[in-house]
Structure 1
């Protein structure tokens, strides 16, 4: 194509009206304002102005824009195809190819994400390690407390027998010197007897002197045996008393006519029953007396202690009852 023909085409193109001009001229001939036109085709005033100025909003799809132009042309009685052809000529442009993301930027972003992921995993690992360490320390503390409690219980059981036996032995210990003092008294009497009976034979005096000494020795042995027997009996009584104090097991039976919350502790401090018990339940328990009993609803509970019924009518006043079994008269 020659340069002259190109110039002619450009002049023809420039002389042809744009779709916006075509629509504006037709609207003005019809005597309609832009606002009235917008009301007729149910568009915003801004859309009418953009169409007449051949402006395509970047936020609007080309398909919607063509629809607006078609309605506008149809409302004014213009040829829709001619107007749309001019619209396509003006607004149809080749879109530039999308820019490819740089490979280096993608690699850098991936490395950045990997670093954050690594930091997250490290934090989670530290939190888990701290929790495990705390749990292990709590377990060790619990074991130490249990061992200390066991040792204190053993010491509490053993020490009373030692304290009871030691004074008895100390009280009986001076008995031996008193018995031993009998020998000088007997010897003095023997000496006086020998002085009065000096004319007697030497063999008779020797026999008479040995006899009291033998009696004194027998008396000392008898006293030592009596002391040993007394100490042994005292130890046996103390052990029996201690066993009775710490080993007596008593049976209790709780009968619930209503739902009731309870807490029962025996003499060792162990909670042998606790929680809410349902109505109609018969609950036997056993432990070392005395017992500490707490009842949330005592009016619905009956108790037998070691086979005998317990009178708790004084506590059945609609309040929480706290008392000990056996009850003190």
Structure 2
């Protein structure tokens, strides 16, 4: 058949005799119209194997009667056969069964239906992958945000007020948790389960207080008050309170503590420096006489992680 007649049958088929089985009636009507099984499958949207079973009256290969009657209706419509006659002939040849749950409808494959490709299964897979990817991205962002969030900063101590600093009983005074000498102003908090050792001032009020050790060259260079910084020094101006951790290229920790607003740190090490700030908007940085513009690197949590000099 040509393309003009693929969807329209111009002349009715010869009527089947009363004694014909449904399969014989369908086959005679198809042959009278000059249709092949593949052409009939394309017009009825039924699988070629289903039409072949209908024409052979092979009811064992077909599905439940509720679906078979639908097949006959489609064939009757395309082949211009009396629908009721096909259904009555089918009912006379099939023994009624007890009601059962209907099986899945058999659909023609892409080859049986003249080509084409099913897109519903592919679309379902894409949706599942998209949902899984969104969930993984959300969990990673949440985990990264929780790791980079900092504890609430302590309130600044009033000028002139005594601010005692607790030192872990199991670590020497002046050494922070990284093992490096503590910079000026470091505050080490002892773990909750660490034993508390009474200080000399508590056990012996009359004992003279130990004299403060002289500031080492490293401490003087860190505070930036008495030492002259080299050209490779990193200068930080803390406008407001912020937690800061700075390491140089050798992995040496130059600063790792909460810095009060108004402090200025001059860190002299081997660049590039690895910088992490807890309150980045309240900190200004300068390197080799030029300000370091890291505003674009500040996260929604007000933290910032970058290297100096900035990577380009």
After TM superposition, the score normalised by the length of structure 2 is 0.33
Please say which structure displays the higher CA radius of gyration.
Answer: 1
More helix by percentage: 1
After TM superposition, the score normalised by the length of structure 1 is 0.32
